Amino acid sequence: MTGMRNKPWASPLYVLYLAGAMAAMFAVYLWLAPGGHTAPQAQTEGELAIIPPKAMPVAPSVLRSSQGFGRIRVGIIAGHAGFDSGAVCDDGLTEVSVNTSIAGLVVNRLQREGIATDLLKEFDPRLEGYVATALVSIHADSCIYPEATGFKVASLEGSTNAANRSLVDCLTRHYAERTGLPFHEHSITYDMTQYHAFNEIAPLTAGAIIEVGFMLADRVFLTTQPELAADGITEGIQCFIREQRLQAQ
């Protein structure tokens, strides 16, 4: 095979050049491959979507301020308060009364734990640019469907604030644990995921809305055991604050 010596593709220099080009291409492939140094891709908004903390932009927050952890603040919206009655049952039981009773108990519990907490109305003027560790709006579901039972929690759809997911998870877990109610996942509506307050609060304020139960099937629970509902929400918020503290370390 000596004749190959005269062909350029057989020369040692050319082979070296080819090897170098391949190595360079491989390096480019590694650079572009998923998990490499590319910008993190947006996660889908499914129930289980997890946005890795490292993908979040580094930004100052209430918790990560130079003043440490002393500035924790929570806002609780008593759904429909100061606006309308919300859902109304045939006998006159109103959603706003259910919401207000539970919201008041949550505020008392958080304040008892030394957490600065604001009780807010549905369209409270303080919501504009509201800066807090968390904002939770308390609502109850309609008095229409005899078979519908359970609660649900949602945050702003399409949000890149990873804290929202953590807040929803903590509330869901602890509310279910305390109340024994099932999660009624198929009735999460646009009104919940595009809840007006989510677009009013400061972007770094984690926000969630909870529908504490259905006013027909869960009526006895909602009207006679608001303390249990309040315990579940309070513990969910405490869980969220703990997680934020851990992340900030």
Minimum distance from residue 96 beta carbon to Zn ion (Å):
8
- Binding piece for Zn ion, criterion CB under 5 A, among 15-23, 86-94, 114-122, 225-233: 86-94
Closest to Zn ion by CB, 139 vs 152, is: 139
* 232 touching Zn ion, by CB under 5 A: no
Q: In whole angstroms, how large is the CA radius of gyration of the chain?
A: 26
Give 43 or 142: the residue with its C-beta nearer to Zn ion. 142
In whole angstroms, give the CA distance from residue 32 to residue 37. 7
Residue 248's CB: how many other CB atoms inside 10 A?
13
Q: Please select the residue that binds Zn ion; options are 75, 79, 150, 226, rule is CB under 5 A.
A: 79
Nearest residue to Zn ion on Cβ basis: 139
Instruction: Specify the residue, 86 or 236, whose C-beta has the smaller distance to Zn ion.
Output: 86
Q: Which stretch binds Zn ion (CB under 5 A): 136-144, 150-158, 162-170, 176-184?
A: 136-144
d(CA 163, CA 75) in angstroms, rounded, equals 15
Which tokens go with 9?
Answer: 């593709």
Scanning 139-147, 173-181, 200-208, 229-237 for contacts with Zn ion by CB under 5 A, the matching segment is 139-147
- Contacts (Cβ under 8 Å, ≥6 apart) of 21: none
Q: How far apart are CA 232 and CA 133, in angstroms?
A: 18
28-67 footprint of Zn ion as x/- string (CB under 5 A): ----------------------------------------
Q: Please state the closest distance from residue 143 (CB atom) to Zn ion, in A.
A: 11
Nearer to Zn ion, 143 or 162 (CB): 143
Smallest distance, Å, CB 225 to Zn ion?
Answer: 19
| Amino acid at site 228 | L
Q: Rule CB under 5 A: choose which of 75, 86, 226, 236 binds Zn ion.
A: 86
Distance of CA 23 to the CA centre of its chain: 44
Give the CA count within 13 Å in the CB-facing half-sphere of 215. 20
Judged by beta carbon, residue 81 or residue 107, the one nearer Zn ion is 81
- Which residues ranging from 5 to 34 are in contact with Zn ion (CB under 5 A)? none
Q: In 10 A of CB 50, how many CB atoms?
A: 12
**Minimum CB–partner distance for residue 80 and Zn ion (Å):** 5
Among 139, 152, 165, 178, indicate the residue that binds Zn ion (CB under 5 A). 139
Question: How far apart, in whole angstroms, are the C-alpha atoms of residue 164 and residue 159?
Answer: 8
The count of residues interacting with Zn ion (CB under 5 A) is 3
Residue 46 backbone class (left: φ over 0; alpha: ψ -120 to 50; beta: rest): beta
Number of H helices, E strands in the chain: 6, 5
Residues that bind Zn ion (CB under 5 A): 79, 86, 139
